[in-house]
């Protein structure tokens, strides 16, 4: 009898159908569904395609799995973990910090980025030295964020600390509110701060509240570890082959050098000088297929949008063309704004062609910018040095590190075209990337209705944001 009962029980157990591992479900479905935030540090719509560091990482993972990517933006950070836990998404890729509270709800991948948490204030309002200095003011943070968890933990040591969680705002909006004087303080990750400081140069760091904060992807706790393990393999792979460094550089590599005075001047000149030449930049962009904001950023770096600019070496005009370059692109009057802009665009286009489409974007653009400044053959020498160092001459991050070596005798003697002030094109490229980012931000501010739009109104619906293989 006992044997019979045991057999019946065993049969009942074998008849229970457990769901397949989450990775198998994704492969069967043919889609990787990723919940994310609409923010410059995660995911947003570019000129015509989705972009952002989390999009690039998730798209690479989807390609690795051989499935399509479906991005599902959410309005609030607090919605991300529940969306993963409930099975609405396979993972969250949204710049999420690994915290004790979140570890009780989801599984995390290995970290792929480290950030700091800054207490941010407005320049001119007085810098607090400790949290005791802000006891009469309120700190506003995103609801459900790791920043709220940090402040809650700090409250044990600083009982007078006052903070409020706002369920309806993103980090960029809170930073803008601080810059405008609408709120006294907020907490932001170092990545968010570095990007938004370009647009709001009044922002300052008061205190570092948390250092070496680990950013990772979040997965359902009930889905097993097959998907997490596969994600870790992918992250290890792109860390080893340099793709992770390349993605992070694409979005953050130009934010290291910050010039408050220069940024404020750029914003003023956007209003006072650019309108005279905007149509010319747009026409040159139409002829060459380049982005007009990139051409405008080059023009600003070269001349601050001054038609009569002249350097000590004789280059002149808005795009600061040499006589030889003007002849090369068929320009007769370098100080004529329309001719200068058209000539600069044509010259930049030809530099990109010489570099070749074997170099992926945006690395090809950054290298062409460096060549515009230092010359194509010095760029070629820098790429040769990268090869000597066993690096990848098609990656900007490697070429960027090699360019300053052109000023060192032990290196420039080993290449064909000799000495160059190799640190200058590095700064040149970083400045243009900064100017272009600020310009695009100013353009967005002028294009949208008054007041912030929620992510669902500025992005396609989740089912539309599909990156097919």
Catalytic residues: 302
DSSP 284: H
**Cis omega (within 30 of 0) for bond into 362:** yes
- Cβ contact 442:270 at 8 Å: yes
CB atoms within 10 A of CB 110: 15
Task: Report the C-alpha gap between 223 and 106 in whole angstroms.
Answer: 10
Q: How far is CA 394 from CA 335, 367, 386, 398, in A?
A: 35, 9, 9, 8
Task: Report the C-alpha gap between 55 and 49 in whole angstroms.
Answer: 11
Phi, psi of 88 (to 5 degrees): -70, -25
Q: How far is CA 410 from CA 364, 371, 398, in A?
A: 27, 22, 18
- Cβ contact 428:370 at 8 Å: yes
> Looking at the DSSP assignment, which residues form a beta bridge with residue 69?
32, 467
CA proximity to 394, closest of 366, 361, 418, 359: 359
Task: Report the C-alpha gap between 52 and 39 in whole angstroms.
Answer: 8
Tokens of 427: 């700064």
Task: Report the C-alpha gap between 451 and 361 in whole angstroms.
Answer: 34
Task: Report the C-alpha gap between 334 and 387 in whole angstroms.
Answer: 37
In which residue are the tokens 């002829």 written? 287
Tokens of 328: 């090369």
């Amino acid at each position: 009898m006992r044997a019979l009962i045991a057999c019946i029980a065993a049969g009942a157990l074998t008849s229970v159908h457990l769901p397949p591992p989450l990775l198998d479900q994704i492969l069967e479905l043919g889609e990787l569904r990723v919940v994310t935030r609409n923010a410059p540090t995660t995911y947003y719509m570019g000129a015509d395609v989705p972009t952002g560091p989390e999009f690039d990482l998730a798209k690479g993972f989807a390609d690795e799995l051989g499935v399509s990517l479906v991005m599902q933006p959410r309005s609030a950070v607090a919605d991300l973990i529940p969306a993963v836990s409930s099975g609405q998404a396979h993972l969250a890729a949204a710049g999420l910090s690994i915290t004790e509270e979140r570890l009780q709800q989801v599984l995390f991948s290995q970290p792929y980025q480290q950030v700091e948490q800054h207490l941010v204030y407005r320049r001119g309002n007085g810098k607090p030295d400790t949290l005791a200095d802000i006891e009469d003011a309120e700190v506003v943070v995103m609801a459900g964020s790791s920043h709220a968890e940090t402040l809650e933990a700090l409250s044990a040591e600083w009982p007078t600390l006052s903070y409020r969680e706002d369920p309806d705002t993103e980090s960029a909006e809170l930073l803008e509110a601080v810059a405008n004087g609408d709120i006294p303080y907020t907490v932001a990750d170092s990545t968010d701060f570095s990007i938004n400081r370009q647009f709001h140069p009044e922002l300052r760091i008061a205190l570092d509240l948390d250092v070496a904060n680990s950013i990772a992807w979040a997965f359902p706790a009930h889905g097993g570890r097959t998907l997490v393990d596969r994600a870790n393999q992918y992250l290890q792979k792109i860390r080893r082959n340099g793709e992770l460094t390349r993605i992070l550089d694409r979005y953050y590599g130009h934010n290291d050098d910050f010039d408050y005075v220069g940024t404020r001047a750029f914003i003023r000149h956007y209003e006072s000088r650019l309108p005279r030449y905007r149509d010319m930049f747009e026409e040159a962009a139409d002829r060459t297929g380049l982005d007009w904001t990139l051409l405008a950023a080059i023009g600003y770096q070269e001349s601050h949008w001054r038609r009569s600019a002249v350097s000590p070496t004789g280059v002149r005009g808005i795009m600061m063309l040499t006589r030889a370059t003007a002849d090369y692109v068929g320009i007769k009057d370098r100080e004529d704004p329309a001719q200068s802009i058209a000539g600069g665009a044509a010259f930049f286009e030809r530099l990109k062609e010489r570099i070749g489409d074997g170099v992926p974007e945006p690395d090809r653009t950054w290298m062409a910018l460096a060549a515009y400044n230092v010359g194509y053959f010095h760029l070629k020498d820098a790429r040769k040095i990268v090869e000597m160092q066993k690096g990848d001459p098609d990656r900007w991050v490697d070429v960027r590190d090699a360019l300053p070596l052109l000023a060192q005798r032990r290196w420039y003697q080993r290449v064909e075209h000799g000495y160059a002030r190799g640190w200058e094109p590095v700064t040149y490229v970083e400045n243009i990337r900064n100017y272009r980012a600020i310009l695009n931000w100013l353009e967005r501010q002028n294009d949208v209705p008054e007041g912030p739009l929620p992510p669902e109104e500025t992005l396609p619906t989740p089912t539309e944001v599909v990156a097919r293989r």
